[in-house]
Structure 1
Amino acid sequence: MDLIEYAIGMDALTHGRMNVAMGDVLAIWQSYREAGVEQPEAAALPPMDQLEAANEHVGIDSVVVDRAAGTLYLRDPEARLDVGAIAKGYAAQKAVEAMEAAGVSSMLLSVGGNVCSIGTRADGSSWKVGIRDPYSDGNLCVVQVDGQSVVTSGTYERYYTVDGRRYHHIIDPATLMPSTRYDSVTVISEDSGLADALTTGLFCMPVDEGMALIESLPDTEALWVLSDGSQRMSGGFSNYLTAQN
């Protein structure tokens, strides 16, 4: 229930761009993506009418958390939850908090595209985390952190190809299609759950709106790689860049 309540808050923060109630829409895309990966010659896009029908049941208001009763239920029987955009970061944050409570003062935890740090390295230096270049196997840049989490989402993670065009897994609620604004978004924050939710939310909003959101949050920075290859950084992101960049 904690995760779902947190997700509801992230839906509000991102103005619906990170909506765990989009389960049916995401399931349709996942089915077509998996089929396209298995049989590339037969890869196809989901019919828009099928996506639109599923989109009738994505209201976050249908998700009801009843703490007193200890229950979670959906008012809409056709609604479906998908916590993939937030669960990994949320779980990583809980792991970090448990480690800190146990007395751990120096640790780097990597869970896929989520990297969490506690304190500094044993020698007192900051942890260095590479941010992947969305166009190669190398690093776009390297950041140094000491207690922050670094989370990146990109078009290179899960995708399939239809008629020579790549379709990735981050679906824009406004279009029901993969977002075409960016090729990667990175967020640095002291909370891995927040960073995970934000990378998805930012992927689906214009960069100026995303920039305003990031600037409104304390101790949170972001890096966008736009679909034309250009980059935008929030005001304090450069403070995390290492000298080698």
Structure 2
Amino acid sequence: MPRHFREEVMFEPFDRKVDRRNFLKISGMLGVGVAATTVMPVSEALAFDKGLHKVTRTKNTMGTLVAITVMHPSVDQADAAIEKAYAEMERVTRLLDRFDSASPVAALNRDGKIDGMPEEMAQVLTAANYYHRISGGTFDVTVKPVVDLYQETYRKTGKVPATKAIEEAVALVDGGMLQLDVQDGKLMQRRSARLMKPGMGVTLDGIAKGYVIDAGAKALEQENIAHALINAGGDIRAIGGKGSDRAWTVAVRHPDKDIAYADKIRMQNGAVATSGNYEIYFDKERLYHHIVKPTDGMSPHELASASVWAKDVTTADALSTTVFVMGSHKGTQFIETLPDCEALVISRINKKTATKGWKSAA
């Protein structure tokens, strides 16, 4: 039986490199030994708990394997809700794909401004600005020039970009120069955004996947689904446990693929997301990968992975990226200051550090 259908869910942080490939469209830049696989949609329905049926469907979307499990008295209603969740996730993905020339994100990057952007994009950019502010600039969606530089340079030469080229790209990174039409923390009706420096651009790969998963969860809740779990390539969103006050058990996979898992946690409601140096990397040593520091354009070297538990995947996604850049000590201290958030980090030398409230399953 595929592991996505087990009661214990393996939460694996994108170790297969292919997980974000289609979402980010960074073709040819995924490191050594990448193997793409085609996974057909899979469904399962089982009688489970006091009149509830466990209905699971798995398919490829967002460039990763997404499994949605619903506990519901009606198999037909559960399956219909899952279909609506997939449709919503795919709709929102199209809006946030900067590589689609017809998307509003591509329009912002092309023109340096956008008016009347979709509400979904406005919400993601507003959240990005918030995490940029509270992280002291560590989380920054305007790193696109640096990411693009690495992508193009490695594609053409297989080498690290020249220092001067990196410095020029970093000069275009400034989340404070992404201006939104906001008043009192809320977007105005015009929903406009401006990149205030020519050559700037945004890449939402540090937050958009979480938002898409949350959109799928919202679609399930709108169909009156009270018990569900979404596992999108290792990013997890839990709704209401498995029924009868039973939590989902989630195994956090270790960044070393030869180690079964780093920890286990139990979840009824909430989310977990992980950022790691094995998601998309450019060299065998993984010293240069898709996560870069906005201050100097270099990849952080201390950590192998950073997992964050939060109320939703948007938050967990943004904060896991932030913690990865900050490092073990500063990152866990930062999470300690935030309500309803916990973190587990694993260093490159396999040292695990967790916030005080991170609770492993007994």
TM (norm. structure 1) is 0.88
- Rg larger in structure: 2
1:44 corresponds to 2:163: no
Deviation for aligned residue 1:177: 1.1
Q: Choose from 106, 109, 115 the match for 2:236.
A: 115
Q: Which residue of 2 aligns with 1:92?
A: 213
Deviation for aligned residue 1:206: 3.6
CA RMSD, aligned part only?
Answer: 1.8
In the alignment, the residues of structure 2 paired with residue 76 and residue 113 of structure 1 have an alpha-carbon distance, to the nearest angstrom, of 36
Q: Which residue of 2 aligns with 1:79?
A: 200
In the alignment, the residues of structure 2 paired with residue 131 and residue 206 of structure 1 have an alpha-carbon distance, to the nearest angstrom, of 19
1:144 corresponds to 2:266: yes
Q: How many residues are aligned here? A: 234
1:242 corresponds to 2:357: no
Deviation for aligned residue 1:165: 5.7
Q: Choose from 170, 174, 191 the match for 1:59.
A: 174
Cα deviation, 1:9-54, whole Å, max 9, x if unaligned, reads 0111221111011111111123345x28xxxxx6211112111101
Cα deviation, 1:55-113, whole Å, max 9, x if unaligned, reads 11112222122234332221212111111100001221232233223321100001223
SS in 1 for 2:250: strand
Letter in 1 for 2:173: V
Q: Choose from 123, 128, 132 the match for 1:7.
A: 128
SS in 1 for 2:282: strand
Whether the 8 Å contact between 1:7 and 1:19 is mirrored in structure 2 is yes
Q: Note the residue ranges of structure 2 that are not aligned, 5 or more in a row.
A: 1-121, 182-187
Please say which of residues 183-192 and 120-129 is displaced more in the overlay.
120-129
Deviation for aligned residue 1:229: 1.2
In the alignment, the residues of structure 1 paired with residue 332 and residue 277 of structure 2 have an alpha-carbon distance, to the nearest angstrom, of 20
Please say which of residues 131-140 and 11-20 is displaced more in the overlay.
131-140
Letter in 2 for 1:211: T
Please say which of residues 104-113 and 132-141 is displaced more in the overlay.
132-141
SS in 2 for 1:21: helix
Whether the 8 Å contact between 2:170 and 2:296 is mirrored in structure 1 is no
Q: Which residue of 2 aligns with 1:174?
A: 295
In the alignment, the residues of structure 1 paired with residue 191 and residue 352 of structure 2 have an alpha-carbon distance, to the nearest angstrom, of 45
SS in 1 for 2:140: coil
TM (norm. structure 2) is 0.61
**Closer/same/farther in 2, CA of residues 32 and 112 from structure 1, 3 Å limit:** farther
Q: Note the residue ranges of structure 1 that are not aligned, 5 or more in a row.
A: 37-41
Cα deviation, 1:216-240, whole Å, max 9, x if unaligned, reads 1122110010122111010011x2x
SS in 2 for 1:204: helix
Whether the 8 Å contact between 1:113 and 1:153 is mirrored in structure 2 is no
1:226 corresponds to 2:341: no
Q: Which residue of 2 aligns with 1:39?
A: none
Please say which of residues 113-122 and 179-188 is displaced more in the overlay.
113-122
Letter in 1 for 2:206: A
